[in-house]
Amino acid sequence: MEVSESVRAVLIDIDGVLTVSWQPLPGAVAALRRIRAAGLGVVLVTNTTSRTRASIAETLGAAGFGVDAEDVLTAPSATAAHLAEHFPGARCALLNSGDIAADLGEVTLVEDDPEVVVFGGAGPEFDYAALDRAFGWLQRGARLIAMHRNLYWRTDAGLRLDTGAFLLGLERAARVEAEVTGKPSRAFFAAALARLGVGPEQALMVGDDVESDVLAAQRAGLTGVLVRTGKFQQETLDGASGTPDHVLDSFADLPALLGLSSPAD
């Protein structure tokens, strides 16, 4: 079944939808090319916190996707905007795996006594000492911001733990709740729609995470499309809090859902 002809733009998750471990999934490059050729707006929305927008665009461009940094909206860039608006000049302690300083802009980063604790993506840095320091800061009144709360993601070596697995325990221990700035926050989807200049009813979101990508987008008024690649697991879909508008085997099937003709037609 094709989607509505009113769709003018597509929001696309990267990891698990276009790529796994930054290697293109079958048919993804050609599918994105067809979507762009049809004149649809495209923005890549990702909770990836290990790379800057420029680095992501460079890697995807080398893989044939033909995107630039302006096509990418990351959780770190959204976090920087949130901090500038709600905590201007605040001292922030960042716990993250990867160098994202370029996307954080004017955020003031400190090693101790922060006003805000910011969680990025999990990795070796999320050890006991780091988490215990964050716990202490939160007990002393620091605010907690998380770029996302994903429990895991898929690499070419299989599923790996992500920030949400640590964040849940820290929230419970410190009796706080993190403000989430990436997916599934409404503000993140709103920022992507504003960049494209469309309303939610004119856009669809494609992702491999049924809750954070798809159902969160649907709650924000977008059409949701879940793909059976990346972190997709049938048992997760069966136990989800809602039903995706569409479920596809892969991103390569999206042009057909959109009613786009193949190059041979």
Same domain, 160 and 118: yes
Distance of CA 190 to the CA centre of its chain: 13
Structural domain contains residue 40: yes
Same domain, 117 and 161: yes
Q: Which two tokens stand for residue 227?
A: 């793909």
Same domain, 188 and 251: yes
Structural domain contains residue 191: yes
Q: What is the reported pLDDT for 265?
A: 44
Residue where one domain finishes, among candidates 129, 154, 180: 180
Structural domain contains residue 19: yes
Residue where one domain finishes, among candidates 139, 156, 180: 180
Q: What is the reported pLDDT for 60?
A: 97
The whole-angstrom separation of Cα 149 and Cα 122 is: 10
Average pLDDT over the chain, rounded to an integer: 93
∠ CA 259-261-265, rounded to 5°:
150
The whole-angstrom separation of Cα 116 and Cα 93 is: 6
Q: What is the reported pLDDT for 156?
A: 83
Task: Specify whether the backbone of 48 is left (phi greater than 0), alpha (psi in -120 to 50) or beta.
Answer: beta
Number of domains in the chain: 2
pLDDT in tens, 159-218: 899 999 999 999 999 999 999 999 999 999 999 999 999 999 999 999 999 999 999 999
Structural domain contains residue 103: yes
Structural domain contains residue 109: yes
Structural domain contains residue 64: no
Same domain, 95 and 133: yes
Instruction: List the CATH number of the domain containing 168.
Output: 3.40.50.1000
5-23 mean pLDDT: 94
Same domain, 162 and 195: no
Same domain, 215 and 229: yes
pLDDT in tens, 94-121: 999 988 888 898 899 999 999 999 999 9
Full domain range(s) for residue 29 = 9-47+183-258
Same domain, 97 and 174: yes
Residue 1 banded pLDDT, cuts 50, 70, 90: low
126-139 mean pLDDT: 97
Residue where one domain finishes, among candidates 180, 215, 232: 180
Same domain, 164 and 93: yes
Structural domain contains residue 58: no
Same domain, 196 and 224: yes
Q: Which of 54, 77, 49 shows the shortest CA–CA distance to 67?
A: 54
Structural domain contains residue 105: yes
Same domain, 144 and 190: no
Which of 88-97, 128-137, 151-160 bottoms out in mean pLDDT, i.e. has the lowest?
151-160
Same domain, 131 and 170: yes
Same domain, 173 and 190: no
Cα–Cα distances in Å, from 261 out to 34, 52, 81, 202, 255? 9, 34, 39, 20, 8
pLDDT in tens, 247-256: 999 999 999 9
